[in-house]
Structure 1
Amino acid sequence: MEVTKPMPSKSKTIFIFDLDGTVTKQETLPLIANSFGLEDEINALTEQTIAGNIPFVESFIQRVAILGKLDVNEVNQLLSNVKLFEGIAEFINTRHEQCVIATGNCCEWVSGLASRLSCECYSSSAIVENNKIVKLKSILKKESIVKRYQAEGYQVVFIGDGNNDMEAMRQADIAIACGLTHYPANSIMSVADYAVFNECSLLRLLHQINHAQQGTSVVLSCAGIGSRLGLAKTKALIEVGGKKLIHFQLEVFEKVEDLRVVVGFQARSVIQAVLDKREDVIFVYNHDYFQTKTGTSFFLGSRHANEFCVAWDGDLVVHPDDVDHCIDFDGEYVGCSDIVSEDAVFIKTDDNKNVIAFALDNGDFEWSGPAKIKRDNIKYLSTNVFNQIEGLLPLPYLKIRAQDIDTYEDYKNAIKFIESWSNEK
């Protein structure tokens, strides 16, 4: 059954950036501590706070108590020279009316740093006497900034990395977990729509959200639990021929710029397996992976993607010589193969080499995937990718050499399939 998921209809977008570790290349409070010989206490508190083991407000009060004895001008000068991610800073400075900074740090310390970014900066504030911080006056609640812009009719995109960003990210229309300086806190991964670990991939995603982009994105769905296979792990992590299946996929997608990996079950393990080989991937979360199927993952992966999206299941093995045809095909298509899987979905075709229907009992070929669909034609539903496509038929078919892995018998056949093309070399 098709399910309609309401999407934001707001026409204007605001990007709210956390500062430390998101725009800056290092956390500022540990930098202050290291520069003034107070690193042991501060670093321990900062690590525990980022991880979510100590509430931000409690930790921040303690850290300010330690660092408040320092001369605010010296601290401000120190932070004025902290290194920024240059591409992100340029994005902010060239779109200053669309961007704001939200930092829990004290404005008395970060005003010089913030002046390098030509956008509004919201921060905490303190009472200063004799050039020392004697008391905190206010601690910024980042979610209040999100709500303020939403009330003004904005679609809010929040980019953050630490536990103190969680409520703001939960409230935001689009939440991006940023792993540029350290792995994002587990708490924000549970509410994130996206996760990125590379400045180029973050910038690519920001541009895609801001304006529709031309070109082709590949959406690799790796969120499922692989229940029919019975190996107690998501299929992206199974080994075929001594190599993780996800690593096979990364090899064949080496030339794909906008590769989106949809994660759900064992998300952290899948993310790490991808990062072991490639950092510029955009990770997309399907948090409802147990209740939904590949059609949902494809929809989520296609949001804010390029004009055309290639739906590629994480358990699909395609002959390397056929991969470029799948990506470069001009327009929309449905991928199919000879009937090789144990529990296949079939396609029925006409004389014009179009797919006219899917079937569960018989057909001309096996629906193997992939499929290339215009982003604007992809709708939210909780079922399968082929259910997405049914309403778009007829569409041309592209016959490829492929093996889907749904059952243990399919798994054994996939091993033989890979061995067969290895022997061709």
Structure 2
Amino acid sequence: MREYIFVFNLDAIVQDKSGEKNCGILEFINDNAQRCYFKQDCIDKNREKTVVAISNSESDIAMMKKADIRIGYGGIKEVMPEILSIVDYVIYEEKKLVDFLGRLLQEEKMALSRTVIISCAGMGNRLGLGTTKALLEVDGKTLIVRYLEQLQEEKDVRIVVGYQASSMIEAVLKYRSDVTFVFNHEYQNTGTGASVVLAAKYANEYVLSLDGDLIVHPEDMKKILACQKEFVGGCTKISDDPWMLQTYMQEGMEYVHAFSKNDGNYEWNGVTQVRSDRLRDGTGHVFQLIEPHLPIPFMMVRTREIDTSNDYKEALRWVKNGFC
């Protein structure tokens, strides 16, 4: 197991303007006193360890740049733009921060150890609306809010941001504050696979990966969240130029054994749940991350992806017709 140390800006993290203490953070510091520091000079003395820096203040930029894991904490004060430009994660709830730090120390055990990753870093150029697609409204509700409603019971939800990151964070925090935001600063040069790899660091045993430009049928999302094993999701062919899933049957179970641009049984829709240790490296598509690990069981998941104006019209019709 890695050996971690934690470097805090104590004033910015622990005490708010009214003088009230964030007791959960103080308790974590007390329980892990041998690992916790409050000055950046400790980093140079502990280079053989994994350094986690937590702050919200521009005065800590030098400290943050030296760290291996950079967390902006907005539970007390707003995270400064200079910090947002270099962090790996932004967290807005004290309990969520303590839970995340505890997970680094492998202290948290869950009945189903799952991290949900929603990839929302892209620019959505093909749609041509000048906004990240997860903020697009369909029938009066944005795609990201639809996800948040469906994922209310999930404990570890991570949203990957890049293009229009501040707008995405603001929209999510209006609905839910215990989300972890993961920054893909290279979103212009990388694919969704890179976003998933970033968010899968220090994740739970399983990762459920969802694309931010997708609407998932409510009944199928219930089926997804009840699943406690790996799967690759697909649907009947509805897109003009999809990647396809090639499958086979074995002992009554259907398995995905290949992705293809030419032919297949179903359209790949980007929904998958796999062990987090399968998502260590990659910058392209999500399916390229999981392709070396096939075969994986198949799950039928009814979805609508929004890439073009025609996709948007079809998604709107689908939602208005009760997902039929």
Q: Give the TM-score normalised by structure 1.
A: 0.73
Rounded Cα–Cα distance in structure 1 between residues aligned with 2:71 and 2:231: 31
Contact 1:335 1:371 (C-alpha < 8 Å) held by counterparts: yes
Q: What is the aligned partner in structure 1 of residue 44 from structure 2?
A: 147
Rounded Cα–Cα distance in structure 1 between residues aligned with 2:203 and 2:14: 23
Q: Out of 1, 12, 15, which is 2:6 matched to?
A: 15
Rounded Cα–Cα distance in structure 2 between residues aligned with 1:210 and 1:393: 31
Rounded Cα–Cα distance in structure 2 between residues aligned with 1:265 and 1:83: 35
Query: Does residue 366 of structure 1 match 2:267?
Result: yes
- Larger deviation, residues 219-228 vs 205-214: 205-214
Q: What is the aligned partner in structure 2 of residue 90 from structure 1?
A: 27
Rounded Cα–Cα distance in structure 2 between residues aligned with 1:230 and 1:360: 25
Report Cα offsets for 1:36-70 as digits up to 9, x if no partner: xxxxxxxxxxxxxxxxxxxxxxxxxxxxxxxxxxx
Query: Does residue 395 of structure 1 match 2:296?
Result: yes
Q: What is the aligned partner in structure 2 of residue 76 from structure 1?
A: none
Q: What is the aligned partner in structure 2 of residue 168 from structure 1?
A: 63
Q: What is the aligned partner in structure 1 of residue 165 from structure 2?
A: 267
Rounded Cα–Cα distance in structure 2 between residues aligned with 1:89 and 1:281: 21
Rounded Cα–Cα distance in structure 2 between residues aligned with 1:370 and 1:250: 16
Query: Does residue 306 of structure 1 match 2:185?
Result: no
Identity of aligned residues (%): 37
> 1:174-213 counterparts in 2 under 5 A?
174-211=69-106, 213=108
Rounded Cα–Cα distance in structure 2 between residues aligned with 1:406 and 1:369: 13
Which secondary structure state, in structure 2, belongs to the residue aligned with residue 22 of structure 1? helix
Rounded Cα–Cα distance in structure 1 between residues aligned with 2:116 and 2:291: 20
Residue identity in the other structure for 2:155: E
Rounded Cα–Cα distance in structure 2 between residues aligned with 1:212 and 1:409: 47
Is there any run of 5+ residues in structure 1 with no aligned partner, and where? 1-9, 32-81, 103-141
> 1:337-352 counterparts in 2 under 5 A?
337-352=235-250
- Larger deviation, residues 267-276 vs 228-237: 228-237
Contact 1:16 1:101 (C-alpha < 8 Å) held by counterparts: yes
> 1:12-411 counterparts in 2 under 5 A?
12-26=3-17, 82-102=19-39, 142=40, 144-150=41-47, 153-211=48-106, 213=108, 214=110, 215-352=113-250, 353-411=254-312
Report Cα offsets for 1:168-205 as digits up to 9, x if no partner: 11110000001011210111111100000111211121
Contact 2:200 2:280 (C-alpha < 8 Å) held by counterparts: no
Which secondary structure state, in structure 2, belongs to the residue aligned with residue 305 of structure 1? coil
Following TM superposition, by how much is the alpha carbon of 1:328 offset from its aligned partner in structure 2, in angstroms?
2.4
CA separation of 1:397 and 1:212: change in aligned 2, threshold 3 A: farther
- The runs of at least 4 consecutive aligned structure 1 residues that moved more than 6 Å come to none
Following TM superposition, by how much is the alpha carbon of 1:411 offset from its aligned partner in structure 2, in angstroms?
1.3
Following TM superposition, by how much is the alpha carbon of 1:207 offset from its aligned partner in structure 2, in angstroms?
1.2
Rounded Cα–Cα distance in structure 2 between residues aligned with 1:390 and 1:318: 23
Q: Give the TM-score normalised by structure 2.
A: 0.94
Following TM superposition, by how much is the alpha carbon of 1:212 offset from its aligned partner in structure 2, in angstroms?
7.1
